[in-house]
Structure 1
Amino acid sequence: MSEYARPEVLVDVNWVEDHLQDPHVRFIEADEDVQLYEVGHISGAVKLDWNVDVQNPLTRDFIDKEGFENLLSRWGVSNDTTIVLYGDRNNWYAAYAFWLFSLYGHADLRLFNGGRATWERAGKAYTQEVPSYERTHYQAKEANGNIRAFRDEVLAELQAPNLRLVDVRSPQEYSGELIAMPSYPQEGAQRAGHIPGAKSIPWATGAREDGTFKSADELRKLYEDKGIATENDVITYCRIGERAAYSWFILTQLLGYSSVRNYDGSWTEWGSLVRSPIER
């Protein structure tokens, strides 16, 4: 993994095994299927439920700084704790959590490369025991606006010559053939298509068949072939920002792009805005 821009953000099975009893490490499982944690999880891991732990349903936003501090304090996380995130579906939601935790400035974040699939393939055991940790007094930073984009910013920057939009949804969503993924009808929009000028680079093309990340050269080619260079200002988007966060992780952590924002309002917002421009 030394080929990546920040190889230290990825850990493997051996690293995980070596740190299962490390009091300075906290494993956090973030799954698309939130019931998997109860089926079994890595020893000592806590559960991040996206429907409960990090959403403010009234504002259609994430929890605020105070809410984030309370969450990590409840999990016994300190500011100097090494957080290792992992989950199902190629670490789809684990990468989303990595982005959110980066938004609030946690210093030492890692991703278990391949997540649950890697652990299972190695024949490692799960537990159903739910850990309990002594509460801490975690202090988050103010939200980092440099890694998050809002709709008004996207609208204002559409004609900017250095802007590159990356649509990480499926080709069918990008083309307008699908208005929403059939399994996620609650995340639909009024119209189908994509933001003008966006390039289609589906998030899953960044993973190997085993769920681990492709090599740096393979990943770099994915983006460079679509005209996405390191000097560009890049905005990723999908439906609600979760798949886009996976691509944000690839661009910033594995390839070293310095100006990448995740538009987490994404297509559920853009596709329903009155007069927002779209292409098909």
Structure 2
Amino acid sequence: MAAMANDPEGYANPQLLATPSELANALASADTPLLLDLRPAEEYAAGHLPGAVHLDLFGISLIDTDPAPLRAFLWILEHLLASRGVDASRHVVVYDEKSGMRAARAFWALEYFGHEHTRLLDGGFGAWQAEGHPISTDPVVPTSTSWTGAATEDRLGTYRDVLDRLDKSDAVILDTRSDGEYRGTTVRAARGGCIPGAVHVEWTTNLRPDGSFKRADQLREMYTAAGVTPDKEVLTYCQGGYRAAHGYLALRLLGYPRVRNYVGSWKEWGDRLELPITLMPNA
């Protein structure tokens, strides 16, 4: 799939997204991409992009980023992707109901494993349907591959990585959760609150009302105002690494060179009682 020659959104990395029309053209060509539908099974069954393979990763999370459980988690992710037909040579397009966190998590996983031709359908199934492109209810049986990725370690963060960067001026910790979670009024682990020094940009603010990504200038202004600038290493987190993957993708679109998804996120950090937390004012 070729990226648009002139990107009207101004992204540094426009090739990370596919518009519905771009994807429709690619599906009509000889070199069709692999489509991964990350929505719940019942939504896939009700209608999906023609030829799309179903892959629901939502239950695959990690609450311990020590080396052994992290290796097991990554092994599961890698083999699930291979079981759905991922290989190194074929382009992959991931989607969910919009430019959402489920698809962003799959996007991050494929990038972590070094897949060089991964894109997210901007606006997702909703945008595809709104433009009148065909929908199928035929189930697709995937053809598994023996693909194994080449891990790009600096795209993943552990609790040790975050702890090491708490007081570093060239790093910023990005909390992508809801305001209540960030302030500690919504508690979804042993403790509520946030990682000390974390700045807050909720993942939904990356999107327009129609579910597509905002323009680059809008995203850049929003992140710069929060202190998330491209000269810093950014470590994103949420509850379990899904919304954090969405922040990861937004920053990749802007060309930020150093972005990690802390996959253990608040569920791990809040449950590890030895790790420091902050309760924001009015919590």
> Scaled by the length of structure 1, what TM-score is found?
0.88
Establish whether residue 18 from structure 1 lines up as the match of residue 25 from structure 2. yes
Q: Are residues 149 and 74 of structure 1, via their aligned partners in 2, closer, same or farther at CA, if it must alter by over 3 Å? A: closer
Establish whether residue 246 from structure 1 lines up as the match of residue 255 from structure 2. no
Deviates more, 1:97-106 or 1:132-141: 132-141
Counterpart for residue 237 of structure 1: 237
Establish whether residue 118 from structure 1 lines up as the match of residue 127 from structure 2. yes
- How many residues are treated as equivalent by the alignment? 268
Q: Are residues 268 and 217 of structure 1, via their aligned partners in 2, closer, same or farther at CA, if it must alter by over 3 Å? A: same
User: What SS is found at the alignment partner of 2:45?
Assistant: helix
User: Does the Cα contact within 8 Å between 2:98 and 2:122 map onto a contact in 1?
Assistant: no
Counterpart for residue 170 of structure 2: 162
Q: Unaligned 5+ residue runs, structure 1?
A: 180-187
Q: Are residues 72 and 260 of structure 1, via their aligned partners in 2, closer, same or farther at CA, if it must alter by over 3 Å? A: closer
Amino acid at match of 2:93: V
User: Does the Cα contact within 8 Å between 1:55 and 1:61 map onto a contact in 2?
Assistant: no
Q: Partners in 2 of 1:218 and 1:36 — Cα distance?
A: 31
Q: Partners in 2 of 1:97 and 1:209 — Cα distance?
A: 22
User: Does the Cα contact within 8 Å between 1:25 and 1:82 map onto a contact in 2?
Assistant: yes
Shift of 1:64: 5.8
Amino acid at match of 1:261: R
Deviates more, 1:123-132 or 1:67-76: 67-76
Amino acid at match of 2:278: E
Match of 2:184 among 150, 172, 176: 176
Shift of 1:135: 4.3
Q: Are residues 131 and 57 of structure 1, via their aligned partners in 2, closer, same or farther at CA, if it must alter by over 3 Å? A: farther
Deviates more, 1:222-231 or 1:119-128: 119-128
> Scaled by the length of structure 2, what TM-score is found?
0.87
Q: Are residues 175 and 51 of structure 1, via their aligned partners in 2, closer, same or farther at CA, if it must alter by over 3 Å? A: closer
Amino acid at match of 2:215: S
Counterpart for residue 258 of structure 1: 257
Counterpart for residue 190 of structure 1: 190
Q: Are residues 170 and 56 of structure 1, via their aligned partners in 2, closer, same or farther at CA, if it must alter by over 3 Å? A: closer
Counterpart for residue 35 of structure 1: 42
Amino acid at match of 2:134: A
How large is the Cα RMSD of the aligned pairs?
A: 2.3
User: What SS is found at the alignment partner of 1:267?
Assistant: helix
Counterpart for residue 218 of structure 1: 218
Q: Are residues 109 and 210 of structure 1, via their aligned partners in 2, closer, same or farther at CA, if it must alter by over 3 Å? A: same
User: Does the Cα contact within 8 Å between 2:55 and 2:84 map onto a contact in 1?
Assistant: no
Write the deviation string for residues 221-274 of structure 1: whole angstroms up to 9, x where unpaired. Answer: 01110111111011110000100100100102x110011111111111111111
Counterpart for residue 46 of structure 1: 53
Shift of 1:152: 1.4
Match of 2:100 among 91, 104, 113: 91
Write the deviation string for residues 169-224 of structure 1: whole angstroms up to 9, x where unpaired. Answer: 01111111111xxxxxxxx2011111111111000001000000001000000111
Q: Are residues 55 and 234 of structure 1, via their aligned partners in 2, closer, same or farther at CA, if it must alter by over 3 Å? A: closer
User: Does the Cα contact within 8 Å between 2:62 and 2:240 map onto a contact in 1?
Assistant: no
Q: Partners in 2 of 1:165 and 1:212 — Cα distance?
A: 24
Write the deviation string for residues 79-136 of structure 1: whole angstroms up to 9, x where unpaired. Answer: 1101001102532110110001111111100111010110122233321112235444
Q: Partners in 1 of 2:38 and 2:143 — Cα distance?
A: 21
Write the deviation string for residues 22-65 of structure 1: whole angstroms up to 9, x where unpaired. Answer: 4441111112x34211111100000112157x668997657666
Q: Are residues 234 and 177 of structure 1, via their aligned partners in 2, closer, same or farther at CA, if it must alter by over 3 Å? A: same
Q: Unaligned 5+ residue runs, structure 2?
A: 1-6
Deviates more, 1:103-112 or 1:34-43: 34-43
User: Does the Cα contact within 8 Å between 1:56 and 1:62 map onto a contact in 2?
Assistant: no
